[in-house]
A and B are shown apart, each in its own frame.
Chain A
Amino acid sequence: GAVVSQHPSWVICKSGTSVKIECRSLDFQATTMFWYRQFPKQSLMLMATSNEGSKATYEQGVEKDKFLINHASLTLSTLTVTSAHPEDSSLYICSARDPASATDTQYFGPGTRLTVL
């Protein structure tokens, strides 16, 4: 099956710093990638939809200036958490849709756990 990777798998940073998370589709080209946030023992909440070569579409309530998304190629999307604060600590998970798939299947990465001190 299709594989999606994320880097780093975990990161600890100080409050006020910025953190970049990478999401890669390893064996397919993804025109659309999605970024989710998951707090402990909660469901996945969609933050934004990332399209290659265009601006990301953010869900209501998600600050686009705080969560910067760049989808510069068909296999890479990045999420930058700017001026991180402790309340941003969460598991950030990306997914990618394989346009060659006959279904709307989204393949998920393993997640990046962000801890802001």
Chain B
Amino acid sequence: GENVEQHPSTLSVQEGDSAVIKCTYSDSASNYFPWYKQELGKGPQLIIDIRSNVGEKKDQRIAVTLNKTAKHFSLHITETQPEDSAVYFCAASDRTGFQKLVFGTGTRLLVSP
């Protein structure tokens, strides 16, 4: 089955800096890669996603890149703000069955003013 690894586990940056979180996946059949932000005491919130037929997607300060050959994808946050502080999870799913998501282990991002 699919296995998703995520690094780093914690990331501390100064406000205004960029943050990059990286994930690798094992199943070449996976073709959908969402990123979720989870704030304390809340459920995950989708912030951006990418499909395997696209190499990069951007939404304001957030971008995701995908390298199918290397089977890794990354989340890029530019001009970080304190409110970006949260736990970020990557995930991967395939088109078989019910399109189940397999999550990475999470990255705790702390943005200091």
Contacts and interface: CB of A to CB of B under 8 A. Distances in A.
Interface of A: 1, 4, 6, 32, 34, 42-46, 49, 51, 57, 93, 95, 97, 103-111
A114 to B, nearest CB: 14
A62 B57 CA distance: 36
Closest 6 A/B residue pairs (Cβ):
A108-B43, A110-B43, A104-B99, A104-B32, A108-B44, A43-B103
Interface string B26-37: 000000101010
B93 A93 contact: no
Interface of B: 32, 34, 36, 41-46, 49, 51, 89, 93, 97-106
Given A1-B46, A106-B46, 13 more contacts: A46-B102, A49-B97, A51-B98, A95-B101, A97-B98, A103-B51, A104-B99, A106-B34, A108-B43, A108-B44, A108-B46, A110-B42, A111-B41
Contacts of B106: 42-43
25 contacts: A1-B46, A4-B43, A34-B100, A34-B101, A42-B105, A43-B103, A43-B105, A43-B106, A44-B44, A46-B102, A49-B97, A57-B98, A93-B43, A97-B98, A103-B51, A104-B32, A104-B93, A104-B99, A107-B46, A108-B43, A108-B45, A108-B46, A109-B43, A111-B41, A111-B42
Contacts of A107: 46
Tell me if A's interface is mostly helix, strand, loop or mixed: strand
B44 to A, nearest CB: 5
Contacts, number: 55
A105 B46 contact: yes
B98 A44 contact: no
B100 A46 contact: yes
Nearest to A93: B43
Nearest to B102: A46
Given A43-B106, A103-B32, A97 B99 contact: yes
A29 to B, nearest CB: 16
A51 B97 CA distance: 12
